[in-house]
Structure 1
Amino acid sequence: MRSDRMKKSVSETITKCAWITGASSGIGAAMAHAFAGAGYCVALTARSDEALRAVAAELDRSPEEIRLFPGDVTDRARIAAIAADIVAWAGRIDVLCNNAGLNVPLRRWDQLDWESWDRVIATNLTGALNVIAAALDPMRRQKSGVMIHTSSWAGRFHADVAGVPYGASKHALTDLSASLNAQEGANGIRSTALCPGEVATPLLTKRPGFDAARAAQVIQPEDVAGLALHVAEMNPNVAVHEITLAPVVRPTSET
């Protein structure tokens, strides 16, 4: 009974809810901090329950305003169930941060590796589609919602260093965002593709040949998270289709 009363009180008092995928590290964890700090309740999704718990423990919100929904974005049924559970808990989904993504070491055509390339497409593209589809129904019912997709500089321009499957998946994600603005604006839904260059995340540090010392000179996860929050808080009559940002170009000798 106590659990039922708590669920009811949470859904009655929450006014804004953000669902963040890939929330266990990097940009996703920074988004969790940004939205929680701005007064949103946050629904956090990633594959690792343990990593999600570590992020949640750092957030400046009451436990009733944070809920963990572990799951893999490639599992369509699980993602659909998570969206339904978020609505049952919070009553709505105001913002989707569609952030889960990965890359692999073998990135060139002369290193073609179907198994790893398929994983990139399954997560970055099909997984993103699964999350979008799951969030659409509640946002349509609300007649409002903002979807913010973590694309990439490689999703706007060709970037050889990012790799073939990653660039293809992120270009597709940028176009998916544009299609949402074209087709779902009538339902009050807005969509933005964030296209950052190098961001100091665990994904970047695994890039072949990356100099770890450069991490302090590139975009920080908090920069992207702050941008996402700004987009979410904008006039609901404004659709920001995409934002491209890059690290400042500095002399290689500068420290």
Structure 2
Amino acid sequence: MPPFHRFQGRVALITGAASGIGRATAVAFAAEGARVALLDRSADALRDAEAAVRQSGGEVLTLACDVSKPEQVEAAVARTVETFGRLDIAFNNAGVENKASPVADIDLDEWDRIIDINLRGTFLCMKHELAQMLRQGSGVVINTSSGAGIRGVAGGAAYAASKHAIIGLTKSAALDYAKSNIRVNAILPGNIETPMMDRFTGGDIQKAIDLEPVGRLGKPEEIADAVLWMSADLGAFVTGASISVDGGWSL
């Protein structure tokens, strides 16, 4: 149990919450007193995350939501506010990796799939989250970009393009709402022990370890720690930032 409850009375909404970084962050928020809304494409996929949040002592709401669908995002944000009364923190973490391919060989449907979920999904979530935060007069939004948001990735143009764009979206929104007591930042994870990394490497995790200057993968909980700091009062003077948590991978 953490020695303090930085988020007592606050409400956090997390997308891509069924596993990996999203799940770890949901558990961390709940352990520090937050009520948590968990969003992922499948309600079934959220069961383990829901149980983990409850075990940490948090109130939890689970919602099936495809972040690329405007009506589903609007309904999920509305349901969160209806259930908990407000929305203090939004962690827009839902995302997918692309099938490795050089640019000329990228299938248009694959390009659209990556952009729809990673970029359009982040925008749609922000649109409705920020509207609620404006009504309240406060809030924090954190978007998941990537080390691939500040460097090129051979075979990963669609993913890198979406993650670069999230940084631009984050910076612009930070300026839009800087005087409205709303902070907007991005977190840039490196190679992290997640199901996505398993898929990306085909199960050969050593490939990813070899890319990391520190000689190991990051843990989802290490990203969660950074997200909580950015969401807490300790980060009150931070907005428009893109914070790398990647073991030096993007240097």
Is TM > 0.5 for Structure 1 vs Structure 2? Answer: yes
CA distance in 2, matches of 1:74, 1:140: 23
Aligned partner of 1:38 in structure 2 is 32
Aligned partner of 1:218 in structure 2 is 217
The residue correspondences of 1:177-216 to structure 2 (distance < 5 A) are 177-208=170-201, 211-213=204-206
Aligned-pair CA distance for 1:234: 2.9
Quick one: which of 63, 71, 74 aligns to 1:69?
63
Aligned partner of 1:52 in structure 2 is 46
Q: Tell whether the 8 Å contact from 1:218 to 1:248 is kept in structure 2 after alignment.
A: no
Aligned-pair CA distance for 1:104: 2.1
The unaligned stretches of length 5 or more in structure 1 are 1-13, 250-255
CA distance in 2, matches of 1:95, 1:220: 22
Q: Tell whether the 8 Å contact from 2:142 to 2:227 is kept in structure 1 after alignment.
A: yes
Q: Tell whether the 8 Å contact from 1:151 to 1:170 is kept in structure 2 after alignment.
A: yes
Quick one: which of 13, 17, 39 aligns to 1:19?
13
Aligned-pair CA distance for 1:186: 1.4
Which residue identity does 1:230 align to in structure 2?
W
TM-score, normalised to structure 2, is 0.87
Single out whichever of 34-43 and 50-59 deviates more from structure 2. Answer: 50-59
Aligned partner of 2:107 in structure 1 is 113
Pairing 1:91–2:108 present:
no
Pairing 1:176–2:174 present:
no
CA distance in 2, matches of 1:107, 1:164: 8
Tell which structure's C-alpha radius of gyration is larger.
Answer: 1
CA distance in 2, matches of 1:159, 1:176: 20
CA distance in 1, matches of 2:20, 2:223: 10
CA distance in 1, matches of 2:171, 2:185: 8
Q: Deviations for 1:89-136, whole angstroms, at most 9, x for unmatched residues?
A: 111111000000001223321431111111000000001111001101
Which residue identity does 2:89 align to in structure 1?
V
Aligned-pair CA distance for 1:224: 0.5
Q: How many correspondences in the alignment?
A: 234
Q: Helix, strand or coil: the match of 2:64? A: coil
CA distance in 1, matches of 2:29, 2:102: 37
Q: Tell whether the 8 Å contact from 1:106 to 1:113 is kept in structure 2 after alignment.
A: no
Q: Helix, strand or coil: the match of 2:121? A: helix
Aligned partner of 2:4 in structure 1 is none
Q: Tell whether the 8 Å contact from 2:188 to 2:245 is kept in structure 1 after alignment.
A: yes
CA distance in 1, matches of 2:208, 2:101: 21
CA distance in 2, matches of 1:19, 1:209: 31
Q: Helix, strand or coil: the match of 1:103? A: coil
Change (3 A) 1:73 1:102: same
Aligned partner of 1:29 in structure 2 is 23
Pairing 1:165–2:164 present:
no
Q: Helix, strand or coil: the match of 1:160? A: coil
Q: Deviations for 1:202-255, whole angstroms, at most 9, x for unmatched residues?
A: 112222566324667111111101110111113464124110132257xxxxxx
CA distance in 1, matches of 2:16, 2:236: 28
Aligned partner of 2:227 in structure 1 is 228
Q: Tell whether the 8 Å contact from 2:9 to 2:33 is kept in structure 1 after alignment.
A: no
TM-score, normalised to structure 1, is 0.86
Pairing 1:133–2:124 present:
no
CA distance in 1, matches of 2:245, 2:235: 23
CA distance in 2, matches of 1:171, 1:229: 23
Aligned partner of 2:212 in structure 1 is none
Q: Percent identity?
A: 35
CA distance in 2, matches of 1:236, 1:139: 18
Single out whichever of 89-98 and 202-211 deviates more from structure 2. Answer: 202-211
Q: Helix, strand or coil: the match of 2:12? A: strand
Aligned-pair CA distance for 1:188: 0.8
Aligned partner of 1:253 in structure 2 is none
Change (3 A) 1:61 1:208: closer
Pairing 1:156–2:150 present:
yes
CA distance in 2, matches of 1:208, 1:109: 20
